[in-house]
Amino acid sequence: MKIALLGLLFSFSTLAIELDQASNWFERAQYRKIITELDQQPEFKHNPDLIALYIKAMFNLRQREQANTLLNQLIIEFPEHSELLYLAGINKIVLAADGALINARQRTSDGLQLLLQAISVNPHNYPAQQALISFYQSAPAAAGGSKELAAERARLLAELNPLQGVLAQAQLLILEERLSEAVALLDKHLQQQQNQADLLAIKASILARQNAHIVALQLYSKTAEYSTDPAQRYSALYQIGRLAVLTNNNVLEGITALSEYIGYYADSEQSRLNWAKLRLVQLFMLAGSNVRAELLFAEIANTTSADEQFMNLKDQVKLQLATPE
């Protein structure tokens, strides 16, 4: 009996480690690793939490149509799993926005219903709540959009979780380009929660859009300091480096931030990784460290991208490196 109990405990421990490891891979944008490793362990298909990570890895590898096919099966197999319902719903809405008009309306309608189902199963699924509010605010009426429903959902969310309610209200103002009102709302709540990373990050993003780059940089620094979410923390570090280039200010802080960012996402599918390296090259040049700039630029010199802005900037930096002072 004792041996059987130990075996049962060991099996649960192994499962927890596998989920924890997969989560770590996802946080570090190692999406191909997630898919490769889990494909070698077919038993993961019985664990919806691992499946959800697998699906999100597919999203990040732009395998959305394949994910849609798989999710159609999964929501039948796990009809009460809020995360899978949310992923299925948001994926259909994204595909509808990007795909052919012939099935866009049906996919949008199906996606909306899946978001509602995800929230019904678990009202504390805050990504689903926020996605639903943004959908109602942004979508045309013919597709199910409704600013009144968006406002009502934001009000209900505030009753459930005050912070999430503030984030939703701020997002509604941002979607309406009422940026000054959004900043005022965030400032009001930052008076009581001055180190709240979500509020800091949203305010920083607004100020960056308004070209208040130095203040935005300071807010991103605070976001990185206080955030407990790796994705949010490293996104803030990236922005610190980007804004240091744009302002030619806080160059050493920018170098430190981007160096940490690149180290964290090394050998990953993080979409901003090459951008981070290019920005760090620029910061090395601003700091007068041209040797370090040339060594790092060599890592991305032959990189190609569909991002025309990245390619143009890479060509400019290459020319600057080749031009003697």
The per-residue pLDDT string of the chain (325 residues; one tens digit each, 9 = 90 and over) reads 444 444 444 444 444 348 899 999 999 999 999 999 999 888 888 999 999 999 999 999 999 999 999 999 999 999 999 999 999 999 999 999 887 667 888 999 999 999 999 999 999 999 999 999 999 999 999 889 999 999 999 999 999 999 999 999 999 999 999 999 999 999 999 999 999 999 999 999 999 999 999 999 999 999 999 999 999 999 999 999 999 999 998 999 999 999 999 999 999 999 999 999 999 999 999 999 999 999 999 999 999 888 999 999 999 999 999 886 6
Q: Which of 152, 154, 193 is nearest to 170 (CA)?
A: 154
Q: Which of 206, 124, 193, 115 is nearest to 164 (CA)?
A: 124
The pLDDT assigned to 101 comes to 65
d(CA 318, CA 325): 14
What is the per-residue DSSP string for 203-255? HHHHHHHTT-HHHHHHHHHHHHHH---HHHHHHHHHHHHHHHHHHT-SHHHHH
Q: Which residue type is seen at 174?
A: I
Residues contacting 268, CB < 8 A, separation 6+: 28, 29, 30, 31
The pLDDT assigned to 18 comes to 81
Helix, coil or strand: residue 266 = coil
Class of residue 13 by CB neighbours under 10 A (exposed 0-12, middle 13-18, buried 19+): exposed
Name the DSSP class of 193.
Answer: -
C-alpha distances (whole Å) from 264 to each of 30, 214, 267, 280 are 11, 25, 9, 14
The pLDDT assigned to 322 comes to 87
CB crowding 187-215: b at 16 or more within 10 Å, else e: eebbeeeeebbbbbbbbbbbbbeeeebee
Q: Do 114 and 85 contact (CB within 8 A), yes or no?
A: yes
Which structure tokens are listed for 281? Answer: 């090259």
Q: Do 84 and 48 contact (CB within 8 A), yes or no?
A: yes
The pLDDT assigned to 14 comes to 45
Residues contacting 120, CB < 8 A, separation 6+: none
The pLDDT assigned to 43 comes to 86
pTM score, whole prediction: 0.90
